[in-house]
Structure 1
Amino acid sequence: MLLLIAVAFTFGLSREQPAHAQALAVPAPAQTRYVQRLNATLPLSSTFTDDKGRPTRLGAYFGKRPVVLVLGYFHCPNLCSTLMDGVLESLAAVDLPPQSYRVLGVSIDPSETPEQAARKKASYAPVLTDKGVQMTLLTGAKPQVETLAHSVGFEYVYDRELQQYMHPAGFLIATPDGRISHYFMGVRFDPRDVRLALIDASSQRIGSPVDQLLLLCSHYDPVTGRYSAQVMTVVRALSVTVLAALVIWLWRAARGRRGAA
C-alpha cells in the first residue's frame, strides 16, 4: 500500500501544477530565500522615490498603522505580478477598513524609475479604487534597496543569463513603528490569516516563523501558471528519493518477517 502511495505521489508531482499548488515546503536555494527576522527594525531613515517622482523616507509610511511590504520589481516577466495580485486579493477579503493599513511595494531593481512604478500602480487601479486600498510603489538606489532587503531577510541575485532577478515569493507585515511582525510565503494567501496578522501588527505583536516555500520568480511563467523544468526536476528528484526510501523499508521489513518465520 505504501509503495502504491509513493508511486502515485511521484507521478502526481511529475505533472506541472499551477503556482499555488506548488508551494513546496522544502528549503529554498541559497541566496533566493527569506531569512525571517521577526521583530527586526526596518531602515526607516532610508530615502526612496515614490510613484509620483517625489523623494521620501521609508519612515514616512509608518507611525499610525501596520504596513504590508512587498519586494519585487515592476518589469518582472514572471512571478511578481502574480504575487501582488495575491496580496491585493487577500486584502480585499480581510474585512478591515482600508485606512487601517498601507501597502508598500519596493523595487529591488535600482534601474527602475518612478515612471515605471506609476505605470505598474495604474494596472492595479481597478482593485485599489474599488476597495479603497492605499498603495505606494517605491524605487531606490542600490545601497538603499540592499539595506532594506537585508533588514527583512530578502535574499536575491541577478541571473545574467536570463536577465532576471531570482528572489523568493512572499510578503511581510510590519508594525506601525517599523518592526517585522509576520511573514507570508507563496503567492496566494488566506484572508483570515492576513486579517489576524494585521490586527496583531496594529497591537505591536510579533508572530512566529512560517515554512519556507520553493517559489522562484525567475522560473515561473505567469501565462501558463507553471514552473520550468528546472524546478520540476527538483520536485521529481525529491519524489524519487521518497520512493526509494519506501522500497528499501518495505524490503527490509519483508526480510525481517521471513527471518522470524
Structure 2
Amino acid sequence: MMKPERRHLLLAGAALSLGLMLTGCGKKQHWDLDYVGTVLPNLKFDLTADTGQKVTAKDYEGKVVVLYFGYTHCPDVCPLTMSHLAEAVKELGPQGKDVRILFVSVDPARDTLPVLHAYTQAFSPQAVGLTGTMEQIQDVAKRYHVAFDDGKKDKYGNYVVNHSAAIYVFSKSGRGTLIGSDQSPVKSIVHDLRQLLDD
C-alpha cells in the first residue's frame, strides 16, 4: 500500500503539471498600443450616423471599433489619423470587414450628414461619421475625457477646433481596451486590431 505522504506528493505533482499545461494553453497577448482595459469605459453613445440613422453602441456589437473625435475641416491631424486607420483596416485584408472606424464630429455646425459621409467614405468603406446635438457630442466626449473648443473666427468666419487626438479601441463586445494617437504606427494598429479580431 502506498504511504500517505507519497500519495500526497504524487497528487501535488499531478496538480502542478496540470497547472503548467493549462498555463501553456493560455494565449498571452502583447499590445503595441497602450492597454487601458482597466480604466477605459466600455463603448456607449447615442448619436446619428452619417446616413441619418440613429445609432448606439449596440449597433456595432460583433465589430472591433476604433473611436476617433475630429472634424472635416481639420487641416492636419484628423486626415493623417484617418489615413493611418484606413490603411490599417486595408492591411487586415478580409478581416477588415469586422472593424468600424467611428469618426465623431466635434464641429456639428459645419459637419452636416452629407459632408460627414463624403469625408469618411473618402478614407474607408469601414468608416462611419457620427454626429448629434452638441449636448450629445459633449456627453460622449466627457465619457472618454476628450476636450474640444472652437478657436477664434477669422474675418471670413473660418475657425479651427482644438481637440484631443487620441484613438480609442474597443473589443467586439464593446469593452474599452486600447488607446493610441495620430503618432501610432500603422503596423502597431494592425497588430492590435488583429489580436482583438482573433479573440
> Taking structure 2 as the reference length, what is the TM-score of the superposition?
0.68
Equivalent residue number for residue 99 of structure 2:
101
RMSD over aligned CA atoms reads 2.5
Name the aligned partner's letter for residue 158 of structure 1. D
Equivalent residue number for residue 69 of structure 2:
71
> Structure 2 vs 1, CA of residues 153 and 197 (structure 1 numbering), >3 Å: closer, same or farther?
farther
What are structure 1's unaligned runs of at least 5 residues? 1-35, 205-261
Q: Distance in 1 between matches of 2:133 and 2:145?
A: 18
Note if 1:152 corresponds to 2:151. no
What are structure 2's unaligned runs of at least 5 residues? 1-35
TM-superposed deviation, 1:142:
1.0
Which aligned runs of 4 or more in structure 1 are off by greater than 3 angstroms? Answer: 36-39, 199-204
Task: Classify the secondary structure of the residue corresponding to 2:143.
Answer: helix
Task: Classify the secondary structure of the residue corresponding to 1:177.
Answer: coil
Question: Contact 1:95–1:195 at 8 Å: present in 2 too?
Answer: no
Question: Contact 1:96–1:195 at 8 Å: present in 2 too?
Answer: no
The 5 Å alignment of 1:239-254 reads none
> Taking structure 1 as the reference length, what is the TM-score of the superposition?
0.53
TM-superposed deviation, 1:89:
1.8
Question: Contact 1:68–1:104 at 8 Å: present in 2 too?
Answer: yes
Note if 1:39 corresponds to 2:7. no
Structure 1 residue aligned with 2:166, among 166, 170, 179?
A: 170
Task: Classify the secondary structure of the residue corresponding to 1:121.
Answer: helix
Name the aligned partner's letter for residue 192 of structure 2. A
Equivalent residue number for residue 141 of structure 1:
133
Task: Classify the secondary structure of the residue corresponding to 1:70.
Answer: strand
Question: Contact 1:173–1:180 at 8 Å: present in 2 too?
Answer: yes
Paired residue total: 158
Question: Contact 1:170–1:185 at 8 Å: present in 2 too?
Answer: yes
> Structure 2 vs 1, CA of residues 100 and 151 (structure 1 numbering), >3 Å: closer, same or farther?
same
Equivalent residue number for residue 82 of structure 1:
80
Note if 1:196 corresponds to 2:194. no
Question: Contact 1:71–1:106 at 8 Å: present in 2 too?
Answer: yes
Q: Distance in 2 between matches of 1:50 and 1:151?
A: 19
> Structure 2 vs 1, CA of residues 160 and 106 (structure 1 numbering), >3 Å: closer, same or farther?
same
Name the aligned partner's letter for residue 144 of structure 1. Q
Question: Contact 1:43–1:147 at 8 Å: present in 2 too?
Answer: no
Q: Distance in 2 between matches of 1:52 and 1:43?
A: 19
Q: Give me the identity figure in percent.
A: 22
